[in-house]
Structure 1
């Protein structure tokens, strides 16, 4: 089935060919019925050329000999035949047969007045109307085929580059996971062992024992989270339940989302902090990513309060607004130690930055700033619906990993060919495409196209030379058939035939054929010479003719008239 655009184009082309062929045929001797039949035949053969291009070409060449109106169909059929010729041998054979067939039919049709000049002219006409459209059509087909092959090769290159980039990212994740496991894992294990030993020490009081228990629980939880992150970095996928290897179910349930905020508050209270938690509004569920971000906002707020304002009261509020959840952590100013200063706190300054990135990924925002009483306030606004930037609601760990991923020179599959080349040819590595190592299919197609272009260029050169030769012969034939009006006026009736013929061209050329059709009657017993004028006729379909009639060795009549071209 043809697409709509092609079907409409074929219908329009068929109509144009039908009207043009009928009009050309009507200019000849054919009547209206014949002209209509020729137009209908051209309109029917036009779409058929896509199915049987070679057959339609030969049929058009054969029928255009007796029917001049079918001449416009010949180059159209030659174009289609050139596009659909499967091999050079078949194409050469087809077009050679078409040219030879057309030349033979024209020679048979014009055999009484056939000359070398007319043969050259007919050959040139057939080459221009058959061979040139066929070459252009074949070139266009090879261009489209090579473009399709290049597109397939481009997609393959992009796919391979995407795979290489993914492998590089996997290796980098594995390296990071190994570093985290070797460094942080060792330190957390030491903390867990020492706090466990302190917890069973008989010399500790009850209050200190509770503090050590909180530290041990925090170190164990940190170990579980570290294992989860390491597992994600190594495998590249997140467990379905969100828990890492070896993490207890209770930890997975309480450490994630708004439901884990109460546990954070309890842990801070157990450590001696004055923490209050308040819920306002009707509780509504959040997407997994936003739910986890709310947990991280509270966790970051408590961490900063413990580090920068130890001993200060902390207020946590979860406020359910109509369109979003507002999570707020506010602490008052911390008590000043008796020594007049506070211990130095080690902080990387990345917590709030990463928190803002998390909030943006889910379509929310983070606000931080000092309070009028000298404290600090951290608030997050998180929507209830998933943002367009994260329609699938990816996990928070994946979001953080994608956000903090360093730029890479690899371009994704959606990138274009130029970006691939620029990205891979920075001077330090090889370009994306090595044109000396193309696939066999692409090399074969390019070689075939190069040969086809060479053959086409050679044929076009031959045609140009032949056109020059044909133009020269046509000028020579014109000298044999044409005179100027002033020379016609200078010749007088009654002059001797020998004297007149010396002033006139010979007239033995195909250009004078048919000049006697529709001419005035020839005088009895006279022989006449008909020539064409160098000037145009009174209309585009008429040609002026000068006729000289001789009898008994003298010019007895000269006439000027017009005949149909």
Structure 2
């Protein structure tokens, strides 16, 4: 059963005890020929059964049956019939396994048959006992088992959904980290190139005869510092890159126009509409990756479709738009969207926003 607070459990048990005690009070009233002793014993027994019903769900059923059989071999007594139904349901609701209940039901039937033989009565009361057992105990027990299984199924569904949501978030986080690793590789390519140029120019100054010894020594120090910085940069980026990750096959200085030409040469029907020059630095690399991912998705999910790549500049930003029509082929199934997660991270780090999805016209 779902966990609840101790106060709610106590209130439920108290209300159940009061409800089950009402038939005992009505049928054992001294004014109707009963006695206060029967009232006290019945109410006390029911209170004890309610108290132990959470830890030993089958014990209240057995005690109530034992209290009912001396009064009627047919197992139907106005004082305890409601208790049989309630404890039968709670046993099915709270029990982990059904074997003990089946043994109890068989034992009740066997004891009823034995009492019938010992008292010398016909089998009619025993068949009535079986009917009362089926309707007052077994049927509520089955309902309780169904409710328990349904609750477990619902909880399992919510747990599965929660686990899938966490796994999806973990995949998105890994893709963001992977994209940052690729950005680190791009930084290595660009900064390494700049540092190499600095080292080359410092080397030229180091051997320039027009400079004095102090200037040549300073140029040599600059060349060595640039070389050491390049080595440290390579080591740091090597740590940040994923294990087994290969160097990017795309040239680091490839423009969007060159990328579109390469895609067109590969057979993709793509048109470039560029109204502005491409921005430099990280923004330009993000722009390049947006177009690259858009062309890749168009080729994968809309084969044969015409693709349009547009670049335009507003007052404060550069906008790139990649649009493809419906494909003429079946194409592979859609991916999980991890490429778009990484692309969104790259665009965000460059100070931009990314939007993707179907157009209103389809």
* TM-score, scaled relative to structure 2: 0.50
1:98 maps to 2:108: yes
1:125 to 104, 110, 132: 132
Matched, 1:51 2:61: no
Say if 2:17 is the partner of 1:14.
yes
Deviation, structure 1 residue 186: 2.3
How far apart, in 2, do the equivalents of 1:115 and 1:100 lie? 13
1:31 aligns to 2:35 (yes or no): yes
Distance 1:141 1:225, change over 3 A: same
Contact 2:195 2:230 in 1 (8 A): yes
Query: Among 76, 89, 93, which residue is 1:79 paired with?
Result: 89
1:347–1:45 distance in 2 versus 1, CA, 3 Å? closer
Partner of 1:182: 189
* Structure 1 residue 401, shift from structure 2 partner: 7.4
**What's the CA shift for 1:167?**
4.5
For 1:300-319, list aligned pairs within 5 A.
Answer: none
The answer to whether the Cα contact below 8 Å between 1:62 and 1:105 also exists between their aligned partners in 2 is: no
Q: Distance in 2 between matches of 1:36 and 1:169?
A: 71
Higher-RCO chain (CA-CA 8 Å, sequence separation at least 6): 2
What is aligned with 2:311? none
Distance 1:106 1:45, change over 3 A: farther
Asked if 2 retains the 8 angstrom alpha-carbon contact of 1:192 and 1:220, the reply is yes
Structure 1 gap ranges (5+): 237-344, 352-399, 409-425, 427-565
Give yes or no for the alignment of 1:70 onto 2:80: yes
What CA distance in whole angstroms lies between the structure 2 residues aligned with 1:168 and 1:195?
40
Is 1:56–1:77's contact at 8 Å kept on the other side of the alignment?
Answer: yes
Residue in 1 aligned with 2:65? Answer: 61
Write the mapping of 1:244-393 to structure 2, written as runs, cut at 5 A. Answer: 348=280
Give, in angstroms, the shift of residue 131 of structure 1: 0.9
Counterpart-to-counterpart distance in 2, 1:64 and 1:33: 16
In 2 relative to 1, CA 167–23 (structure 1 residues): closer, same or farther, beyond 3 Å? same
Q: CA deviation at 1:108?
A: 8.5
Unaligned runs of 5+ in 2: 72-76, 244-276, 284-344, 358-362
Of the candidates 328, 331, 349, which is equivalent to residue 404 of structure 1?
349
Cα distance change on mapping 1:346 and 1:127 into 2, 3 Å: closer
- The superposition leaves residues 177-213 of structure 1 with CA deviations (integer Å, 9 ceiling, x where unpaired) of 33432344123311332145236635479xx99xx99
Q: Cα distance, 1:89 vs. partner?
A: 4.1
The answer on whether the counterparts of 1:103 and 1:126 sit within 8 Å (CA) in structure 2 is: no
SS of residue matched to 1:30: coil
What residue in structure 2 maps to residue 198 of structure 1?
Answer: 205
**Could you tell me whether the CA contact under 8 Å between 2:89 and 2:141 is conserved in 1?**
yes
| Equivalences for residues 381-530 of structure 1 within 5 A | 403-404=348-349
The CA deviation at 1:41 is: 1.8
Structure that is richer in helix per residue: 2
Over residues 492-543 of structure 1, what are the superposed CA-to-partner deviations in whole Å (9 max), with x where a residue is unaligned? xxxxxxxxxxxxxxxxxxxxxxxxxxxxxxxxxxxxxxxxxxxxxxxxxxxx
- CA RMSD, 1 decimal: 5.2
Q: Is the 8 A contact 1:14 1:42 kept in 2?
A: yes
User: How far apart, CA to CA, are the structure 2 residues paired with 1:75 and 1:156?
Assistant: 38
Please identify which structure carries the higher strand content: 1
